[in-house]
């Protein structure tokens, strides 16, 4: 028994030394106050996306604070309500692993609330990207389930595939990088070279085709950033 313990000890040390990799998800925290600046306890705050169906609900604590951890990257609508106050709502964009904080001010019932919406035709983002949510993935046609992910990428403008199964963007022979839950995969992911990803397990994906940020490293011609589905908030 002592020999076996020493025999497996190096493997235990390697496991302990392995770095932990966090999934690519956002987090949102905030504080709910009234017009006088007092904290509003037990206010109901809801974060949801009508397209993907993702929904999270939280009640504020005694200090009026709330938190939504592990939120898939996407655009959301945030609502806050409490007895004696008008409904508050705002659109939020969660596309970074950096924690986001939002201050919410509830107006008393009977107060006049002015809601303004700003519609921008151009996103305030330096990269050219295409967002594909879960509903679009479910409707994507595929002759064979094992090639469903390839069909989605080939339907994206600019993507082609050669006879060897390698993806090329706009005729370039550069590398297409895949990022799965924040983990970069620099090798090809398709049925020709490896096991293809199952699109039914993908919550959403962002295909970046221009202005690729330096955080991805290397010289990719395109980045396929995917967030897998989470069991959070489900029964």
In the chain, the largest separation of any two C-alpha atoms, in whole Å, equals 77
Q: What's the confidence (pLDDT) of residue 207?
A: 81
Q: What's the confidence (pLDDT) of residue 103?
A: 93
Q: What's the confidence (pLDDT) of residue 234?
A: 57
Q: Please, which residues bridge with residue 220 across strands? A: 175
Q: What's the confidence (pLDDT) of residue 10?
A: 46
Low-confidence ranges of the chain (pLDDT < 50): 1-23, 119-121
Which residues in the chain belong to E strands, given as ranges?
A: 26-33, 44-48, 55-59, 65-71, 74-81, 88-94, 100-105, 128-133, 159-161, 167-169, 175-180, 183-185, 202-210, 220-228
Residues 156 and 168 sit within 8 Å (Cβ to Cβ): no
Q: What's the confidence (pLDDT) of residue 58?
A: 94
DSSP state of 170: T
Q: How far apart are CA 130 and CA 206, in angstroms?
A: 6
Which residues in 82-232 belong to E strands, given as ranges?
A: 88-94, 100-105, 128-133, 159-161, 167-169, 175-180, 183-185, 202-210, 220-228
Q: How far apart are CA 105 and CA 87, in angstroms?
A: 10
Q: What's the confidence (pLDDT) of residue 81?
A: 92
């Amino acid at each position: 028994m002592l020999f076996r313990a020493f025999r497996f000890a190096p493997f235990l040390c390697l496991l302990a030394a392995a770095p932990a990799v966090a999934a690519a998800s956002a987090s949102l925290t905030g504080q709910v106050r009234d017009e006088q600046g007092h904290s509003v306890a037990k206010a109901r705050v809801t974060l949801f996306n009508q397209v993907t169906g993702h929904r999270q609900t939280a009640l504020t604590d005694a200090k009026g604070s709330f938190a939504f951890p592990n939120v898939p990257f996407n655009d959301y609508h945030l609502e806050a309500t409490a007895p004696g106050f008008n409904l508050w709502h705002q659109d939020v964009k969660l596309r970074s692993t950096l924690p986001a904080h939002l201050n919410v001010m509830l107006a008393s019932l009977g107060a006049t609330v002015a809601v303004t919406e700003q519609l921008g035709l151009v996103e305030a983002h330096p990269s050219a990207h295409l967002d594909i949510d879960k509903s679009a993935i479910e409707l994507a046609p595929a002759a064979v389930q094992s090639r469903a992910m390839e069909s989605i990428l080939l339907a994206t403008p600019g993507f082609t595939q050669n006879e060897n199964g390698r993806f090329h963007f706009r005729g370039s022979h550069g590398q297409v990088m895949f990022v799965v839950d924040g983990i970069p995969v620099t090798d090809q992911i398709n049925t020709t070279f490896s096991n293809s990803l199952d699109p039914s397990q993908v919550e959403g994906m962002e295909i970046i085709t221009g202005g690729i940020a330096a955080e991805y490293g290397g010289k990719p011609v395109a980045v396929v950033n995917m967030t897998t589905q989470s069991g959070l908030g489900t029964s």
